[in-house]
Chain A
Amino acid sequence: MGSYIGRRILTGTLTIILAIIFSFLLIHLAPGNPVSILSGRDNPSPEMEAALIAKYGLDQSVFVQLGSYLKNIVQGDLGQSISNNRPVVEMIAERIGPTLLLSLTTAILSLLIGTALGIYCARSAGSKLDSALNGISYLFDAMPGFWLGMMLILLFASGLKLLPTAGMVDLRADYTGFAHYLDVLKHLILPGLTLTLISTPYFFRIARSSVIQVMSEDFVNTLRATGMKESRIFNKYVFKNAILPTVTVFGITLAYIFTGVAIIEIVFSWPGMGSFMLKAISSRDYPLLMGIYLILSVSVAVNMIIVDLLYAFIDPRIRYK
Chain B
Amino acid sequence: MSAEQQHAIAVDQLIKYYSQRKKIVSPDGKVSRKQQVKSVDGVSFTLQKGEVLGVIGESGCGKSTLGKLLVRLEEETSGSIRFSGVPSKELHKRSQLAFRRTAQMIFQNPFDTFDPRYTIAELLTDTLKLHKIGGSYDERLAMCEQKMEQAGLVPAQHYLHRYPHELSGGQLQRISILRSMLLSPLFIVADEPVSMLDVSVRADIINMLIDVCQKENTAMVFISHDIISTRYVSDKVAVMYLGRFVEYGPTEEVLHNPKHPYTKALISNSAMLESLEQKREVIRIEGEPPTPINTGPGCYFYSRCYQRRDSCQSIYPDFTDVGAGHKVACPYTS
B-contacting residues of A (Cβ < 8 Å)? Answer: 217-219, 221-229, 236-237, 240-241, 314-317, 320
Q: Is the CB of A226 within 8 A of B127?
A: yes
Tell me the bound Cα distance from A317 to B162 in angstroms.
11
| Beta-carbon contact of A316 and B163 below 8 Å | yes
Q: Is B242 on the interface with A (CB-CB < 8 A)?
A: no
| Alpha-carbon distance between A128 and B131 when the two chains are bound, in angstroms | 37
A217-B100 contact given A225-B105, A226-B130, CB 8 Å threshold: no
What residue in chain B is nearest A226 (Cβ atoms)?
B127
Does B216 touch A at the CB level, under 8 Å? no
A227 touches B73 (CB 8 A): no
| Complex: A43 Cα to B114 Cα, angstroms | 73
Given contacts A225-B73, A240-B117, A241-B117, contact A219 B112 (CB under 8 A): yes
With contacts A225-B100, A225-B105 known, is A237 near B127, CB below 8 A? no
Residues of A within 8 A of B322 (CB): none
Can you spell out 5 A-B residue pairs with CB atoms less than 8 angstroms apart?
Answer: A218-B109, A225-B105, A240-B117, A241-B115, A241-B116
- Per the bound structure, the CA–CA distance linking A95 and B227 in Å amounts to 73
**What separation, in Å, do the CA atoms of A226 and B127 have in the docked complex?**
6
Tell me how far the C-beta of A245 lies from the nearest C-beta in chain B, rounded to whole angstroms. Answer: 14
Instruction: List 3 tightest A-B contacts by C-beta distance, closest first.
Output: A227-B100, A218-B112, A226-B127
How would residues 107 to 124 of chain B score, 1 for a CB under 8 Å from any chain A CB and 0 otherwise?
111001111111100000
**Residue B180 lies at the interface, judged by CB distance under 8 Å to chain A:** yes
- Alpha-carbon distance A181/B99, docked complex (angstroms): 60
Nearest-neighbour CB distance to chain A for B226, whole angstroms, equals: 20
Which chain B residues border A223 with CB–CB below 8 Å?
115
Whether A228 lies near B130 (C-beta < 8 A) is: yes
Contacts A221-B73, A226-B130: A237 and B99 contacting too (C-beta < 8 A)? no
A240 to B115, CA, bound (A): 10
Q: Mark B159-171, 1 if CB is under 8 A from A, else 0.
A: 0000101100000
Residues of B within 8 A of A241 (CB): 115-117
Asked whether B130 lies within 8 Å of A222 as measured between CB atoms, the reply is no
Residue of B nearest to A225 (CB): B105
* B183-226 interface with A by 8 A CB criterion: 183
A219's nearest neighbour on chain B, judged by CB, is B115
B179 interfacial contact with A, CB 8 Å = yes
B282 interfacial contact with A, CB 8 Å: no
Give the CA-CA distance A222 to B182 in the complex, in Å: 13
Please, which residues of chain A bring their CB within 8 A of the CB of B118? 237
Q: Which one, A227, A228, A236, A317, contacts B99 given CB within 8 A?
A: A227
Flag if A227 contacts B97 (CB, 8 Å): yes
Contact assessment for B71 and A316 in the assembled complex, using a CB-CB cutoff below 8 Å? no
Contacts of A227 in B (CB 8 A): 96-97, 99-101, 130-131
Contact A222 B114 (CB under 8 A): yes
Residues from chain B with a CB closer than 8 A to the CB of A316 are 116-117, 119, 163
Which residues from A are CB-within-8-Å of B183? 226
B101: nearest chain-A partner, CB-CB? A227
B100 partner residues in chain A, CB cutoff 8 A: 225-227
Taking CB atoms, residues of chain A closer than 8 Å to B179 are 222, 226
Nearest CB on A from B1, distance (A): 28
B96 contacts A222, C-beta separation under 8 Å = no
Is the beta-carbon distance between A219 and B113 smaller than 8 angstroms?
A: yes
List of A residues within 8 angstroms of B104 by Cβ = 225
Determine whether the beta carbon of A222 is less than 8 Å from that of B107. yes
For A315, what are the chain B residues with a Cβ–Cβ distance below 8 Å? 116-117
Closest to B131 in A: A227
State whether A225 touches B180 (Cβ < 8 A): yes
Complex-state Cα separation, A320 to B130, whole angstroms: 30
In Å, the complex CA distance between A214 and B97 comes to 23
Among the listed A218, A237, A314, which residue makes an inter-chain contact with B113, where contact means beta carbons less than 8 Å apart?
Answer: A218
Are A314 and B117 CB-contacts (below 8 A) given A225-B100, A227-B96, A227-B97? yes
B179 CB, nearest partner CB in chain A, Å: 7
Minimum CB–CB distance for A311 against chain B, Å: 12
Which residue from chain B places its CB closest to the CB of A237 in the assembled complex?
B115
A317 CA / B179 CA spacing, docked (Å):
22
**Given A222-B179, A227-B97, 16 more pairs with CB closer than 8 A:** A218-B109, A219-B115, A219-B116, A221-B107, A222-B105, A225-B71, A225-B180, A226-B130, A227-B101, A227-B130, A237-B117, A240-B115, A314-B117, A316-B117, A317-B116, A320-B166
| B98 to chain A: closest residue by CB | A227
Do the beta carbons of B112 and A217 come within 8 Å of each other? yes
How far apart are B310's CB and chain A's nearest CB, in angstroms? 44
A-side contacts of B180, CB under 8 Å: 225
What is the CA–CA distance of A224 and B114 in the complex, to the nearest angstrom? Answer: 12
Least Cβ–Cβ distance between A315 and chain B, in angstroms: 7
Per the bound structure, the CA–CA distance linking A314 and B115 in Å amounts to 13
Q: Which residues does chain A contribute within 8 Å of B108, judged by CB atoms?
A: 218
- Distance between Cα atoms of A224 and B180 in the complex (Å): 12
Chain B residues near A228: list those with CB within 8 A: 130
CA distance A219 to B116 in the complex (A): 9
Report the Cα distance A249→B119, complex, angstroms.
27
- Among B61-120, those with CB < 8 Å from A are 68, 71, 73, 96-97, 99-101, 104-105, 107-109, 112-119
Which B residues are in CB contact (< 8 Å) with A226? 100, 127, 130-131, 179, 183
Q: How far apart are the CA atoms of A14 and B190 in the complex, in Å?
A: 52
In angstroms, Cα B179 to Cα A226, docked, is 9
In the complex, are the beta carbons of A222 and B163 less than 8 A apart? Answer: no
